[in-house]
């Protein structure tokens, strides 16, 4: 009977740079949540949902960490806000919604969408969809659509909004910014992969010289 070789692990960008260990996995999940919290503070106040840098963080975290770690990082981000830490985007007065108040906010559906989006983007990135600009752009546009797929129904239910109001409050103000974020991520990830490849070649040359 012929033995079946185990499948090669699917690598994302961070695995190209660092050897994978469970300790590093935990560090990366925490770092992904912290990075999202940081970009959440880059905010333009808008009611009922502010414009923030969160979606860009979600796309980058998902692509660089893969589906499991990326999804876990955004799940951790959501939990941190629910337990009371001021990690979500600030309100117009600079305060932060936390706990059950945040859960009942019209924007919380987008936070749920972040988790699913990071996992989907990570899954596609594990299948090399983040390594060329066009495929990366398709991946990140799709990831952005997933966020809206969760955010808009939540907003509609919380605010008892009509379909037209839901689009006016939760979609139209974010289209241009969302496209820009997807484009930024679609340039950054292939460029980072190119840089990782160049670094490997330089290391190989140094090893040959030795």
Residue 2 belongs to some domain of the structure = no
- Domain CATH code at residue 77: 1.10.1760.20
166 neighbors 110 (Cβ within 8 angstroms): no
**CA angle (71 as vertex; 7, 168 as ends), nearest 5:** 135
5, part of any domain: no
Structure confidence by residue, pLDDT tens digits, 66-121 = 999 999 999 999 999 999 999 999 988 889 999 999 999 999 999 999 999 999 99
Neighbours of 48 (CB within 10 A): 14
pLDDT of 7 above 70: no
Residue 46: inside a domain: yes
Q: Note the pTM of the prediction, 2 decimals.
A: 0.91
| CA-based nearest residue to 158, from 115, 97, 80 | 97
101 or 197, greater pLDDT:
101
Query: Structurally, how many domains does the chain consist of?
Result: 1
Parent domain of 76: 13-209
* Start-to-end CA span in the chain (Å): 43
Residue 164 inside a domain? The answer is yes
* 141 domain residue, yes or no: yes
Over residues 125-137, the mean pLDDT reads: 95
Distances (CA, A) of 48 to 12, 111, 154: 35, 14, 12
**Residue 6: inside a domain:** no
Is 144 inside any structural domain?
yes
Mean pLDDT, rounded, of the chain: 91
Q: Is residue 36 part of a domain?
A: yes
């Amino acid at each position: 009977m012929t033995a079946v070789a185990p499948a090669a692990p699917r690598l994302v960008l961070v695995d190209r740079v660092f050897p994978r260990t469970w300790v590093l996995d935990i560090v990366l999940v925490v770092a992904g949540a912290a990075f999202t919290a940081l970009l959440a503070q880059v905010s333009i106040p808008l009611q009922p949902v502010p414009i923030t840098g969160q979606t860009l963080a979600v796309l980058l975290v998902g692509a660089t960490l893969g589906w499991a770690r990326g999804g876990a990082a955004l799940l951790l981000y959501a939990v941190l806000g629910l337990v009371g830490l001021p990690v979500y985007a600030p309100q117009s007065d600079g305060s932060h919604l936390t706990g059950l108040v945040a859960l009942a906010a019209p924007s919380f559906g987008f936070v749920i969408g972040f988790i699913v989006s990071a996992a989907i983007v990570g899954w596609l990135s594990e299948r090399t969809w983040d390594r060329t600009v066009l495929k990366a752009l398709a991946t990140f546009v799709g990831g952005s659509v997933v966020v809206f797929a969760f955010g808009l129904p939540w907003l509609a239910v919380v605010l008892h909004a009509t379909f037209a109001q839901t689009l006016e409050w939760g979609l139209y103000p974010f289209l241009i910014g969302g496209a820009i974020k997807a484009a930024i991520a679609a340039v950054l990830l292939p460029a980072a992969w190119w840089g990782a490849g160049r670094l490997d070649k330089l290391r190989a040359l140094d090893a040959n010289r030795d």
